[in-house]
Amino acid sequence: MNKTPAAGAPPKRAIDIVNASLKRRYARERRFRFIGLSAVILGLSFVGLLFADIIAKGHSAFVQTYIQLPVHFEAAVLDPDGSRNPEVLARANYQQLIRDALRTEFPGVTDRRETRTLYSMISVGAPTQLRDRVLANPDLIGTTQDVWLLADDDIDMLVKGHIDRGLPENQRRVKDQAVGWVEQLEAQGRIAKRFNTIFFTNGTSREPELAGIAGALMGSFYTLILTLLFAFPIGVGAAIYLEEFAPKNRWTDLIEVNINNLAAVPSIVFGLLGLAVFISVFGVPRSTPLVAALVLTLMTLPTIIIASRAALKSVPPSIREAALGVGASPLQTQIHHVLPLAMPGMLTGTIIGMAQALGETAPLLMIGMIAFIVEIPSGFTSPSTVLPVQIFLWADSPERAFVERTSAAIMVLLAFLILMNLTAVLLRRRFERRW
């Protein structure tokens, strides 16, 4: 009590001693609580800081610059024999159309170098863009259309303001002349930033404006699905066996220590192991979600097992006794009573393990995941890469436009992570109880 209660108390009342020291104890309490709160806030602000940093760098990658040009779909170029044969149309020289369009737009450009600069304003992916349009609608042939064409990454950077137009020309990748053209187009409203669908639908590419994360995302998806399928049952099963059924002796102690120790093995060593065992001995194909999942399973197992064992340990023995006492078998006791109570902890372990697997690069270096794979993987055994590796590769690319794409890819990875965690968190909440 904050006040000393009624006077006239017997001489040495415990409460007096208590009250005397109360202030100090409360100071300690407040301090403790404050430290706790600061810890949470600190932790959360790290998350915030990282997110803010990443979003600030990456948000602009979600839009992409397009340049509008009147393109004449010259029949002579596209379909010289007039057959409208899709095969012929597919092989036609669409580049030509774009170059023509550019030259008509900027008639003054004649110098060879200048023409090159001019052509390079439009992405090398633009011809494909045109081809798809023509294939979808062959009637375009012979007409002139205003088409929004994908801009090259340098122009994209310039339009987004990542290249400072105020710098001296020799310190810029985009030269004055190109800046002039861009400004001219901007004045005409022929430059627009649109939502970057390519980023979400394409596989990777050397051209930043064509590079997408779909391949890596699918790779991560397949990898994680498999990892979860392998690691969760194995981890939980192993934890249950070791904690609940295995006889407690030196041998199981050794296993426990050993599992703890596996968590400290550098992840790249798991890559070595995967290379030696899964690829060399069992012939699992390289660079596939399957082999990645196997390696990541081995890597995440300790996390899941340790967390699950801790969770099992915290279930009071009386619950087990109660179940055994009415004739439940040990396995039933586990499945009906202990497991539901330990599930939140197990799920936490799984969340963290999966998060780790999702963000891991090092072991994948060893098993061929650090690769340029354009095709979007279609299954567990098609060659693919994963998000963190894609990020790793993009981060190592010279092109400036990859900087924002790297951050955007990180954002997608984090979104993936959050989505994944959300499911587990919801599950976890269903199981959580205090008694």
Partner 1 sequence: MSTTLDEMTVRTRATTSAELASGRESRETVGDVTSANPRMVCRHVDVFYGSTQAIKDVSLDIGKNEVVSMIGPSGCGKSTFLRCLNRMNDTIDGCRVTGSITLDGLDIYDKGLDPVPLRAQVGMVFQKPNPFPKSIYENVAYGPRILGLTNSKAELDDIIEGSLRKAGLWNEVKDRLDKPGTGLSGGQQQRLCIARTIAVSPEVILMDEPCSALDPIATAIIEELIDELRSNYSIAIVTHSMQQAARVSQRTAYFHLGDLIEVGETNQIFTNPKHKLTEDYITGRFG
Partner 2 sequence: MHTSTLLILVLAFMSLAYYVGRKRAISTAGGVTRINTLHSLPVYYGLYAALWAGLPALLLMGLWAGFQDDILVALVKSELPATMLDGLSPGAASLLVNDIKNLASGAIVSRTPTPEMQLAADRYNLYNQFAVWAMWLAVSALALGGMAFAWLRTQPKMRARNRVESIFMAILVIFSSIAILTTLGIVLSVLFESMRFFQEVSPLEFFFGTLWSPQTALRADQIGASGAFGAVPLFTGTLMVSAIAMFVAVPIGLMSAIYLSEYAPRKVRAWAKPTLEVLAGVPTVVYGFFAALTVAPFIRELGMSMGLNVASESALAAGLVMGIMIIPFVSSLSEDVINAVPQAMRDGSYALGATQSETIRRVIIPAALPGIVGGILLAVSRAIGETMIVVMAAGLAANLTANPLESVTTVTVQIVTLLTGDQEFDSAKTMAAFALGLTLFVVTLTLNVIALHIVRKYREQYE
Partner 3 sequence: RDSVWIAGSSTVFPFSTTVAETFGRETSFPTPKVEALGTGGGFKIFCSGVGVDKPDISNASRAIKLSEFDECQANGVTEITEVKIGYDGIAIANSKQSPVIDLNLAELWLALAKDIPNEAGEFVANPYRKWSEINPDLPDVAIEVLGPPPTSGTRDAFVEIAMEGGCNTFDAVKALKDSDKDKHKAVCHGIREDGAFIEAGENDNLIVQKIVANPNAIGIFGFSFLDQNTDTIQGTLIDGIEPTFESIADGSYPVARSIYFYVKNAHVGTIPGIQEYVVEFTSDKAWGPEGYLVDKGLIPLPDAMRASMGADAQALTPMTAPAN
The residues of the shown chain that bind partner 3, judged by CB under 8 A, are 116, 120, 124, 128, 163-164, 167, 170-173, 205-207, 283, 286-287, 365, 368, 370-375, 383, 393, 395-400, 403
Tokens of 231: 């690691």
Number of residues in contact with partner 1, rule: CB under 8 A?
Answer: 37
Chosen from partner 2, partner 3, partner 1, none, partner binding at 10 (C-beta under 5 to 8 Å by type)? partner 1
Q: Is 359 left (phi over 0), alpha (psi -120 to 50) or beta?
A: alpha
The reply on whether position 375 binds partner 2 by CB under 8 A is no
Chosen from partner 2, partner 1, partner 3, none, partner binding at 298 (C-beta under 5 to 8 Å by type)? partner 2
Q: What is the DSSP string of 10-37?
A: -TT-HHHHHHHHHHHHHHHHHHHHHHHH
Q: What's the min distance (Å) between Cβ of 331 and partner 1?
A: 9
Q: What is the DSSP string of 192-241?
A: EEEE-HHHHHS---SSGGG--SHHHHHHHHHHHHHHHHHHHHHHHHHHHI
| Pairwise CA distance, residues 70 & 145, whole Å | 5
HSE toward the beta carbon, residue 27, CA cutoff 13 A: 4
| Pairwise CA distance, residues 292 & 364, whole Å | 7
The reply on whether position 336 binds partner 2 by CB under 8 A is no
The reply on whether position 127 binds partner 2 by CB under 8 A is no
- Say if residues 408 and 61 touch (Cβ distance below 8 Å): yes
Which positions from 414 to 433 touch partner 1 by CB under 8 A, shown as an x/- string? -------------------x
Axis-axis angle for helices 94-105, 126-136 (nearest 10): 110
Chosen from partner 1, partner 3, partner 2, none, partner binding at 63 (C-beta under 5 to 8 Å by type)? none
What sections of 106-145 are H helices per DSSP?
A: 112-119, 126-136
Q: Which is nearer to partner 1, 110 or 318 (CB)?
A: 318
Chosen from partner 1, partner 3, partner 2, none, partner binding at 21 (C-beta under 5 to 8 Å by type)? partner 1
| Pairwise CA distance, residues 394 & 212, whole Å | 11
Chosen from partner 2, partner 1, partner 3, none, partner binding at 92 (C-beta under 5 to 8 Å by type)? none
Q: 191-195 and 63-72: which strand pairing? A: antiparallel
Cα angle at 93 between 90 and 99, to 5 degrees?
A: 140
The H or E element that residue 81 is part of is: none
Q: Which is nearer to partner 3, 72 or 172 (CB)?
A: 172
- Considering only residues 200 through 259, tell me which ones interact with partner 1, judged by CB under 8 A: 248
- Say if residues 308 and 236 touch (Cβ distance below 8 Å): yes
Q: Applying CB under 8 A, which of residues 57, 99, 133, 337 lies at the interface with partner 1? A: 337
Q: Applying CB under 8 A, which of residues 43, 82, 86, 180 lies at the interface with partner 2? A: 43
Chosen from partner 2, partner 1, partner 3, none, partner binding at 372 (C-beta under 5 to 8 Å by type)? partner 3
| Pairwise CA distance, residues 150 & 155, whole Å | 10
The reply on whether position 150 binds partner 1 by CB under 8 A is no
| Pairwise CA distance, residues 229 & 227, whole Å | 5
Which positions from 25 to 64 touch partner 1 by CB under 8 A, shown as an x/- string? xx--------------------------------------
Q: Applying CB under 8 A, which of residues 216, 238, 293, 408 lies at the interface with partner 2? A: 238
- Considering only residues 258 through 317, tell me which ones interact with partner 2, judged by CB under 8 A: 258-270, 272-273, 276-277, 298, 301-303, 305-307, 309-311, 313-317
In angstroms and rounded to an integer, the radius of gyration of the C-alpha atoms of the chain is 31
The reply on whether position 372 binds partner 2 by CB under 8 A is no
Which positions from 285 to 324 touch partner 1 by CB under 8 A, shown as an x/- string? --------------------------------xxxxxxxx
- Considering only residues 78 through 97, tell me which ones interact with partner 1, judged by CB under 8 A: none
End-to-end C-alpha distance for the chain, whole angstroms: 29
- 127 CB contacts (<8 Å, ≥6 apart)? 93, 94, 95, 97, 98
Chosen from partner 2, partner 1, partner 3, none, partner binding at 17 (C-beta under 5 to 8 Å by type)? partner 1
Q: Interface with partner 1 by CB under 8 A: which residues?
A: 1-3, 5-6, 10, 13-15, 17-19, 21-22, 25-26, 248, 317-330, 332, 336-337, 341, 433, 435
